[in-house]
Amino acid sequence: EGSEDSTIDFPVRVNAIPVKYLSKEEEDVLYHYGNTCEPIPVYSVDEQPLDGPSTLTNTLRCPVQYISKVPPSLVSDNFCFICDGDEVSVDDILTECQWWKQTSSSTRFYSSDNLTTFHQVNLLTCRGETRGAYRARVRGGAIAKVSLDKVFRVSRFFSSWRTCPGFHRIVSTINPITEEGEMCYQFKKRIFIQYFWRSEKPHDRALVSKEYLDFRINTTEHRNSLMPPSTSTVSRSSYPWTSPQATRDSLGNVSSGSFGTRSHAAQKFHTIAKSLKIARSFGRRQSTAALPSPMDSS
């Protein structure tokens, strides 16, 4: 990506190589637990930002078991997620403005004949309708027309954490531009979300987790304070693992406690933080070595 479209300073290495696939013996899915305590599959662990074509390639080649139907939250690691755009609203992800500061965005179009190598294309429009697509001109080469059914729109939104500018997030939406393309590739929209640290000071990750948890605890307390006593049992729906006698955290530990108290909410979210810390020691797969991308200027 060009420097005008990114939150990070260039030149910088980007990972232009698709995530390598693991053998069946290594195929252990790493799950991330967000504020809903619902397991969200982690697609990959990348320390370098993926460029547009690599994001598109990984999205199209993603096995179905890694496509999430809920958006990730409480993320403080170098994780990538792929969400079903029919189930997850990108607006809900982008409106986390209390933490993230959006700095720029870009929309580009790509096409491919083999779903492995993608080329940027330019659209020809007339009176608001797309009439054709052409490969970006290469020096000394002719303009090549491209079938619209093979064209994908890739919109990217770049942001950084407000109090830790070294923590970045790139939200990319990928969709075929025609109905025929949607039928061919069997999806209307997918959302690729990458979290990565470009620079990190001591305790930065702890600060990010603390700000997440403080917000969630305050939200839980506010919701419980507005709930009348006669409907206090409804609050149990927020804790699906609870029973009348005891509560069970996301790690399976059972402890007694009352519902709707500050200590209970604090225990829940500190348990999530603990599970996040444990998850970091179980990186299920790593991308191949990052190389300079020949499409960094695209």
Would you give per-residue pLDDT tens digits along the chain (298 residues)?
A: 443 343 333 333 334 444 444 445 445 789 998 877 889 999 999 889 999 999 999 999 999 999 999 999 889 999 999 999 999 999 888 877 788 999 899 999 999 888 888 999 999 888 888 888 998 666 666 778 889 999 999 999 999 999 999 999 999 999 999 999 999 999 999 999 999 999 888 899 999 989 988 877 776 666 676 666 544 333 333 333 333 344 334 333 434 443 344 444 455 555 555 555 444 444 444 443 344 444 444 4
Sequence-separated contacts (24+) of 22-30 with Cβ below 8 Å = 22/284, 22/285, 26/284, 26/285, 28/284, 29/65, 29/66, 29/284, 30/279, 30/282, 30/283, 30/284, 30/285
> Which structure tokens are listed for 36?
């809903």
The answer to whether 284 and 29 have CB atoms below 8 angstroms apart is yes
Q: What is the pTM of this model?
A: 0.67
Helix (H) or strand (E) holding 81: strand 79-84
DSSP codes, 89-138: -HHHHHT-TTTEEEEEEEEEEEE-SSSSS-EEEEEEEETTEEEEEEEPPP
Residue type, 13: R
